[in-house]
Amino acid sequence: MNPLLLKFDTAPFSEINDGHFLPAIKDLIAITKKEIAAIVDDPDPPTFKNTVEALENTGMQLERATSIFFNLNSAETNPKIQEIAQEVSPLLSDFNNDLLLNEELFAKVKTVYESRNDITLNGEQQMLLEKQYKGFSRNGANLSEEQKKTLRKIDSDLSKLKLTFGENVLAETNAFEMHVTNEADLSGLPEGAKEAAAQTAKEKGKDGWVFTLDHPSFIPFTTYSDNRELRKKLTIAFGARAFQPNKYNNEQNVLKIANLRHQRASLLGYESHAHFVLEERMAETPQKVRSFLDGLLDKAKPAALKEFDELKVFAKDLDDIDLLQKWDGPYYAEKLKQKRLDLDDEKLKPYFKLENVIDGVFTVAKKLYGLRFESDGSIDSYHEDVKTYRVLDAEGALAAIFYADFHPRPGKRGGAWMTSYKPQQIKNGINDRPHVSIVCNFTKPTKSKPSLLTFNEVTTLFHEFGHSLHGMLANTTYKGLSGTSVYWDFVELPSQVLENWCYEKETLELFATHYETGEVIPMDLIKKIKESATFHEGMKTLRQLSFGLLDMAWHGADPSGITDVKKFESEAFGDTKLYPDTQETCMCTSFSHIFQGGYSAGYYSYKWAEVLDADAFAYFKKEGIFNKKVADKFKNHILSQGGTQDPMELYVKFRGQKPDPEALLERAGLIDK
């Protein structure tokens, strides 16, 4: 029997083989269609219960099976899974359109929606009804039959193109390696980076050292290597992913995705894809997003130009560098930081053994929200690297199942993310608890050293764990409003706010102990970590703004006149450029956030959420970072509520006021306190 068709609690990874996915998903689509047909065929007049709530409860097994499939396609893929994904994605797209373009079903939802003022619904029920109605109306329910056919074709094409885009980036990342045989070429590299590269070479059956485009290999080399030519080689290879004249080139995919999104938005009556997306965001309109980004740009650019000029002078004085290039930036910035703050990652890494950092973030969760994490090896997982836990609340009841997957491997895409295998919901009086996962790409342990994290990796772990808390502490009736099912520019608040704890003495002393001596991180290093938080903040802000502006350039207007992806990107980056351009590289062809993931017309949300998180953490700082009253308010009004209310209403309930943008600018050191 196909395990995906049986009822299960935790995902039965060890029982599933690749051949199970396609037949199971086909069967589950058919089962879900029958569930929907039962709603449509119900002879009773449409009510909230027999229509809206019934629709919310359809397709649960399908949702679970597809979550397993697509999570594996990101974290543990192979050519077979990728092949299946190309077949499954259009099937699911067609099914979704069958649902959203079902006239009889929409008529029933519309009847309930139009009578909403005459029936008694609580706030969560009202929100679910509104979300369902908008789901239909924003996805073609009011189109003509001919237009619906066009929409189906667009959605099917987009689902395939986004998959292909991601597969090409992964293939290009895996295809490159820089093989070094002369030890002199490793000058400047930390011992840990050299040892990891030697281990990679050995795994590939080679002598010497092999460096890859995976972040734990790429970042240390470009930050510390004294060999400028090899830094250049690695930097260009990273920037040229899916931009080379081969079968993995993504230029046409970028153009097709952007144009299809615009066509879809136009078909639905919107001026652009961004207008369509932002209607369901806190930011509301492209004009507000651009105004927000431009306002930050005005504040950040003078600081960034000043920092960049200092960096150029420093590189010239140190190594007679006449023209600072992209492959020089991280290297000289690190040297300048070491000189100015006497701080570098190699001094910090011994205090950030992965297991200790995990214990640290668990302790923070316990102090703030009363959660306990119990390791449980009996929970099935998809790879031996994955750590599994039962999460218990303050009363000892199960709060969640938690999976953590920390190290890079060939079948895993780069970056870090949080995902879910089972949503939280309250059904038939039972509060069904969620199963959530975080996936990262941290340095692997070697023969002589455990996995030691850079401080940036520590903040990444806290960031993704913040997302997972949003899932674990969910406490809503309906799965469609639970956990991270919130406006996209609100979803980053729980993750980004938790990063703040990494900079605090009270937190660091909980877990930052030297992996060999057990010594607690010294006060002077804590002080330097705090100081480093604003080092080159102008340049960092400019970089993030450049990505947001590029995203809006692609999605805020008709892209049909764009023929040259590289040229368009260069123009979009115009006001934010610091380094000379390199013709061999193009960011768009590997910009997975917006061309594969869910951040199209939404990349600005990282900076938007920073305004929220800076203001929120200012409240914690004022009352004490482990203050129970403030933590309870954050849990009760933000983490547990999901999308049951307007996000600004939830924020004001927590904070007592709307967020103050000055808090972000002050924290970043871009304005005086």
SS3 label, residue 439: strand
DSSP state letters, 245-304:
SSTT--HHHHHHHHHHHHHHHHHTT-SSHHHHHHTTSTT-SHHHHHHHHHHHHHHHHHHH
Do 433 and 398 touch, CB atoms closer than 8 A? yes
> What gap in Å lies between CA 195 and CA 197, rounded to an integer?
5
Task: List the helix and strand counts (H, then E) for the chain.
Answer: 27, 9
Let me know: does 533 contact 456? Beta carbons within 8 Å.
no
End-to-end C-alpha distance for the chain, whole angstroms: 65
**CA distance linking residue 275 with residue 265, whole number of Å:** 8
- Is 229 a catalytic site residue? no
Looking up tokens 């994490």 gives: 373
What does the alpha-carbon distance between residue 263 and residue 560 come to, in Å, rounded to a whole number? 9
Residue 428, Ramachandran bin (φ over 0: left; ψ between -120 and 50: alpha; else beta):
left
Tokens, residue 321? 């560098």
CA distance 493 to 613: 6
d(CA 439, CA 24): 25
**Which residue out of 464, 492, 537, 610 is catalytically annotated?**
464
User: Rounded CA gap, 165 and 590, in Å?
Assistant: 8
Is residue 501 within 8 Å of 507, Cβ to Cβ? yes
8 A C-beta contact, residue 39 and residue 50: yes
Beta-carbon contacts of residue 604 (< 8 Å; ≥ 6 apart): 283, 289, 292, 293, 489, 548, 551, 552
Q: Are 433 and 399 in contact (CB under 8 A)?
A: yes
Q: Mapping DSSP to helix (H, G, I), strand (E, B) and coil, where does residue 438 land?
A: strand
Give CA torsion, residues 308, 314, 317, 319, to 10 deg.
-90
243-271 burial, b if ≥16 CB within 10 A, otherwise e? bbeeebbbbebbbbbbbbbbbbbebbebe
Structural contact between residues 206 and 228, judged by C-beta atoms closer than 8 angstroms: no
Beta pairing class for 372-375 and 387-392? antiparallel
Strand pairing of 398-405 and 435-439?
parallel
CA 472 from chain centre, in angstroms, equals: 17
Six token digits for residue 222? 């470009």
Judge contact between 295 and 208, C-beta under 8 A: no
- The three-state DSSP-derived secondary structure of 383-396 is CCCCEEEEEECCCC
In angstroms and rounded to an integer, the radius of gyration of the C-alpha atoms of the chain is 25
**Catalytic (active-site) positions:** 464
